Structure 1
């Protein structure tokens, strides 16, 4: 026997607590010869007697007391590990790794996490700010459990991507501007612009929207952080195009009073999907998915055009 067996250690601790081989056998529901074999194997592995056999009492030797103290710690740790794993199997606890863009994290994910915290407080969601391509790559590599990604996406082996939300893209303008009620590519292209970084799906969507109107504007600055973009809009630095996220009940996200929001003509939508590895997810991951699906819009906000 090369390694110490927890079963053998449990037998040793039971004998020390109960004072006899026979009592330990009854407590552990083992045959007396099995209890004797456990101790013989342990003593052979240690190379020294662990128990002192007296007339009507079995007591630990000095070496036995040292091993018993360590055995109690090991057995307690093993029991705790089994309890923790059991809670994860039941979906009562666990760690879920999620990747998403800054916009989804700022405006959508908190609603799902709030609901999850009420129903499953033992689940720990670790969030990473990633582009859609980074999210899919990490999911495929097993480094993530769930991803919120822009659609459409090319199929990735081993991953399931399902449509989740469809949020309208709106023009966000400084409130001091004299802006039309509905914003067109021609009008917006003539304004100073703050747009998303070119590696993002939103950048490609907005570029296509301008191109449909025959416009190819150059932004003053390109960023991949929507809150920073809105801060610049509020400061009057320029206008932008961003998704207008709303809750599952249609409640609008609070807007900086220095910013006004206008619908686009033609209308533009930012579709999002939920990605995860194909197959039955672990219970904790399933509960997070359920909280996210609760945010799926049942009614789309109205947009002009």
Structure 2
């Protein structure tokens, strides 16, 4: 059996509720023969009578009444779905799916979500913890709406990546260590190191910084969670290189945060699919741009 048309179901309800085909035609702005055809198509597909003409009005058969009761729920859900989609397009409500690394989620994204909640509390942001490569792949596949990605990124057809912000990369060392005021590749390379996982853009960025100073150190451990890395630094296990956003709080007393020589920056971009995003996505992009 082919799927039942929502328009045909609306016609059936109108005939039943108004009591006549003529009244339903006027209410639905349809020609009377069209109303008759809609009901006839439903009866043909279901193989049974749905309405009968009584003395005073058209009434439903037992099967017709069962269909009418179910149709009311289906049409109400369909109307609710359309309203939700309209709110999404208009930007007053909706769901926006964001992909970001653990570093961005730790401090940058919460700022944006707080501002968004104050302005548009009905926009639901769903966050996935992903690498930049995973984020771009999911954007291309249509399973994400916005990505916070490390730069640079190769061009991807159908995606737009714009520069968002850059944050200074700092050395985080145990406070008990004797460290220089500015940390160089040569000094840091001989210390116990806790670095980001080799598959991340930050790992490659730090490796390039070491290599520019003629150093190629190996880490004691590689992690992809900045809070866990900082906990190990505080425990004296080793030193690390991490971005520090200007508005982020200072590290705890057991950690010293020191500038690098030469300086190193972590650039980030905002990625989304090409074309005009829906209203909800535009609001999230605007809020994110505000903290860039």
What range is the shorter-chain TM-score in? Answer: over 0.9
Q: Distance in 1 between matches of 2:7 and 2:141?
A: 37
Q: Distance in 1 between matches of 2:217 and 2:2?
A: 72
- Given that 1:107 and 1:253 are in contact with CA atoms closer than 8 Å, whether structure 2 keeps it comes out as no
Provide the residue aligned with 2:195 in structure 1.
195
Residues 253 and 52 of structure 1: CA distance in aligned 2, closer, same or farther (over 3 Å)? same
Provide the residue aligned with 1:160 in structure 2.
160
SS in 2 for 1:163: strand
Alignment map for 1:97-136 (pairs within 5 Å): 97-136=97-136
Query: Cα distance, 1:254 vs. partner?
Result: 3.9
Residues 182 and 73 of structure 1: CA distance in aligned 2, closer, same or farther (over 3 Å)? same
Query: Cα distance, 1:2 vs. partner?
Result: 4.4
Q: Say which is worse superposed, 286-295 or 214-223, in terms of deviation.
A: 214-223
SS in 2 for 1:171: strand
Residues 157 and 52 of structure 1: CA distance in aligned 2, closer, same or farther (over 3 Å)? closer
SS in 2 for 1:162: strand
SS in 2 for 1:266: coil
Residues 207 and 21 of structure 1: CA distance in aligned 2, closer, same or farther (over 3 Å)? closer
Unaligned 5+ segments in structure 2 are none
SS in 1 for 2:105: helix
Provide the residue aligned with 2:270 in structure 1.
274
Provide the residue aligned with 2:68 in structure 1.
68
Question: Are 2:12 and 1:12 aligned?
Answer: yes
Provide the residue aligned with 1:293 in structure 2.
289
Query: Cα distance, 1:44 vs. partner?
Result: 2.8
Q: CA deviation digits over 1:24-60, x for unaligned, max 9? A: 2332233333333333333333333222322222222
Residues 53 and 211 of structure 1: CA distance in aligned 2, closer, same or farther (over 3 Å)? closer
Provide the residue aligned with 2:52 in structure 1.
52
Question: Are 2:245 and 1:283 aligned?
Answer: no
Q: Say which is worse superposed, 91-100 or 285-294, in terms of deviation.
A: 91-100
SS in 2 for 1:276: strand
Q: Distance in 2 between matches of 1:3 and 1:204?
A: 54
Question: Are 2:265 and 1:265 aligned?
Answer: no
Residues 44 and 139 of structure 1: CA distance in aligned 2, closer, same or farther (over 3 Å)? closer
Residues 207 and 40 of structure 1: CA distance in aligned 2, closer, same or farther (over 3 Å)? closer
Query: Cα distance, 1:115 vs. partner?
Result: 1.1
So what's the TM-score if we normalise by structure 1? 0.89
SS in 1 for 2:286: helix
So what's the TM-score if we normalise by structure 2? 0.92
Residues 233 and 3 of structure 1: CA distance in aligned 2, closer, same or farther (over 3 Å)? closer
- Report the count of equivalent residues: 292
Residues 278 and 54 of structure 1: CA distance in aligned 2, closer, same or farther (over 3 Å)? closer
Q: Distance in 1 between matches of 2:230 and 2:74?
A: 55
Provide the residue aligned with 1:23 in structure 2.
23
Match of 1:256 among 234, 252, 274: 252
Provide the residue aligned with 1:300 in structure 2.
none
Provide the residue aligned with 1:39 in structure 2.
39
Q: CA deviation digits over 1:92-130, x for unaligned, max 9? A: 222222222110111111111111112222222221222
Q: Distance in 2 between matches of 1:138 and 1:173?
A: 36
Q: Distance in 2 between matches of 1:73 and 1:142?
A: 30
RMSD of the alignment, in Å?
A: 1.9
- Given that 1:94 and 1:284 are in contact with CA atoms closer than 8 Å, whether structure 2 keeps it comes out as yes
Q: Distance in 2 between matches of 1:2 and 1:215?
A: 69
Q: Distance in 1 between matches of 2:216 and 2:66?
A: 78
Unaligned 5+ segments in structure 1 are 297-305
- Given that 2:20 and 2:58 are in contact with CA atoms closer than 8 Å, whether structure 1 keeps it comes out as yes
